[in-house]
Amino acid sequence: MLKRIAGGVIVAVSATLAAAAPYAQSAPFKPDTSRPVIAPAEYERWQKQISNWGRWGKDDEMGALNLITPAKRRAAVALVKDGVTVSLASNAATQKDLDVPCPAEWMMVSATQAAATDRIAYPCIHGAGATHIDSFAHIFFDGLAWNGYPVSSVVSKEKGAVRNSVLNMKNGIVTRAILFDIPRLKGLPYLEPGTRIYPEDLDAWEKKTGVKVGAGDALLLRWGRWARRAKLGTWAIDEGAAGFDNSVIPWLKQRDVSMIAWETPGYAPQPSGDLPRLALHNFALTMLGIMLIDRADLEAVSEAAAARNRWEFMLSVAPLPIPYGTGSPVNPLAMF
């Protein structure tokens, strides 16, 4: 049973709880100042020049998912050779920690000799408690949502998301996915927080693997957040994370990526004068119409891909059919 609550959802599930990391870490992180940052003026210019608003019609609510055609899905299914599935989801975190400021809430409702029922709540669906997908009703630019809709016509506290909601993805998403394993590219177990990933890093990975991301594909970005956590313990993700440099935005537009799944949605700390940490996250979602899966765990799929030397595979994502929802917990599955 699913019940709508303020800022999230409640679902009855059999929850797998995340184990606590070995110890907490609070070392300061240094910003990556090796290159100039994208200026706010450039970012604002891109909003006009490379936006996808109107590309699929004035009433569109699917964005770049329109690029996942029946032919694209059939091609993705054809990639399945071994019949092996691998989850891209992090376990639901139910304890508050440095990297989980808004955990999920789990409890047993009843347990008898006949049956047991538990409950899990997501007080803030876009928080760090679980892997989740964003809908276009989540982020706005100057009072406008995806496709140029005024926010007032999209979402309100009283009615929720009457347009651009996660319910638009009820039929699920199946497409070809490409894993970009940047630590593996650089011969490292993980990147250090603050590291910026540039278009040439993505091009170098494609050259190394011989696989190139194209229209309608999902891009999975691993920088090693979970590998670092397992070794060094928890830390405040908002204060230290690797991720795409904002210069990747035109690259994403050119490649027509339909979806991104990543361990963290931005890099931190920011060099002086940089745009906000989530500048690329917000632009990709709202201006380019790229669906985003936040807080993915890509360790298992990295190992599975490396063992087969196969960096492309089928990806399936099935958001919960939540009317008026701005997002949903998801368990994305890679199939080799």
Q: How do residues 19-28 score in pLDDT, each as one tens digit? A: 444 455 556 8
Cα(187)–Cα(260) distance, rounded to whole angstroms? 23
Report residue 123 as tokens.
Answer: 């007080």
Q: What is the pLDDT of residue 18?
A: 40
Residues 213-217, mean pLDDT to the nearest whole number: 98
| Among 237, 287, 261, 289, residue whose Cα is nearest residue 279 | 287
Report residue 247 as tokens.
Answer: 């210069």
Q: 36-92+130-335 maps to which CATH number?
A: 3.50.30
pLDDT band at 173 (very low <50, low <70, confident <90, very high): very high
Amino acid sitting at position 143: G
Instruction: Tell me the domain boundaries of the chain.
Output: 36-92+130-335
Using a cut of 0.85, tell me whether the model's pTM lies above it: yes
Decide: residue 196, CB within 10 A, 0-12 exposed, 13-18 middle, 19+ buried.
Answer: buried
pLDDT band at 166 (very low <50, low <70, confident <90, very high): very high
Q: Per residue in 118-158, pLDDT tens?
A: 998 888 888 878 999 999 999 999 999 999 999 999 999 99
Report residue 277 as tokens.
Answer: 């940490």
Compute CA distances 203 → 40, 185, 198, whole Å.
Answer: 25, 11, 9
Q: What are phi and psi of 219, to 5 degrees?
A: -105, 125
Q: Which residue has the higher pLDDT, 271 or 71?
A: 71
